[in-house]
Amino acid sequence: MRAWVVLAGLNGMLAVGLGAYAAHGLASDSYLQGLAEQASRYQLLHALALLAADRLAAEGRRLAHGAAALFLAGLILFSGSLYLRALTGSPLPVPMVTPAGGMSLMLGWLVLAAAGLARRR
């Protein structure tokens, strides 16, 4: 089983479904709709990043697993916190969750670049 591919597929499916809900179910509140649409956009983009990380991991580049793990953590923290806010209408009790998720996504890209530069093992 290719875990990163499975997780990419699940994240892609969730991003499309929640993005559609944002477009239709949250149409009465443009702020909450925007949060959910942003979460969906980032989730879909990073589902593709998981596929890229899987490809490098399949080539024997071990850092790619770290990049994929950072992408997944970032998706849960960043997109998850935006979805939670959009669906409940209330801010998170822990205010730094969303920025921590964003940092995780950025670090994932940095580690993915390092994986691309690293030699195969």
pLDDT in tens, 38-87: 999 999 999 999 999 999 999 999 999 999 999 999 999 999 999 999 99
**3-class secondary structure, 120:** coil
Q: What is the pTM of this model?
A: 0.93
For residue 115, CA distances in Å to 2, 32, 98 come to 18, 36, 26
